[in-house]
């Protein structure tokens, strides 16, 4: 996995951050949650599966997924690497 911080909370007063995430083909970001942050995934390239609170979502370019605070989620890349924008409210960092 590769992570690039595009907008850090220091630029938004801690209200929002945005990060570019690359997940290699066949790899995953394991099940996790953010107790006090909302997260928005926007798929920009590749495909795979998002699992939000046990529900599978087909992740393809243009798909967006809203993940409320405290909700378990994971992302699994398909046969090609996947790129997504992860936006956090309040900021992740």
Tell me the pLDDT tens digit for each residue of 48-79: 999 999 999 999 999 999 999 999 999 999 99
* Residue 12 contacts residue 79 (beta carbons within 8 Å): no
Q: Is the peptide bond before 8 cis (omega within 30 degrees of 0)?
A: no
Give the structural domain span for 26.
2-89
Tell if the pTM clears 0.85, that is, is over it: yes
Q: Read off the tokens for 3.
A: 């992570």
Q: What is the DSSP letter of 90?
A: S
Question: β-pairing, 73-77 with 28-32?
Answer: antiparallel
**Domains: count for the chain:** 1
pLDDT value, residue 87: 98
| 9-43 confidence digits (pLDDT tens) | 999 999 999 999 999 999 999 999 999 999 999 99
* CATH, residue 74: 2.60.120.10
Q: Read off the tokens for 14.
A: 């801690």
Distance between CA atoms of 68 and 33, rounded to whole angstroms? 9
């Amino acid at each position: 996995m590769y992570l690039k911080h595009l907008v850090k909370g220091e630029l938004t007063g801690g209200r929002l951050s945005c990060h570019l995430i690359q997940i290699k083909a066949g790899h995953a970001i394991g099940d996790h949650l953010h107790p006090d942050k909302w997260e928005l995934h926007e798929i920009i390239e590749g495909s795979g599966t998002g699992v939000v609170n046990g529900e599978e979502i087909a992740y393809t370019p243009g798909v967006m997924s809203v993940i409320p605070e405290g909700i378990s989620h994971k992302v699994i890349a398909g046969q090609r690497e996947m790129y997504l924008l992860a936006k956090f409210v309040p900021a992740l960092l």
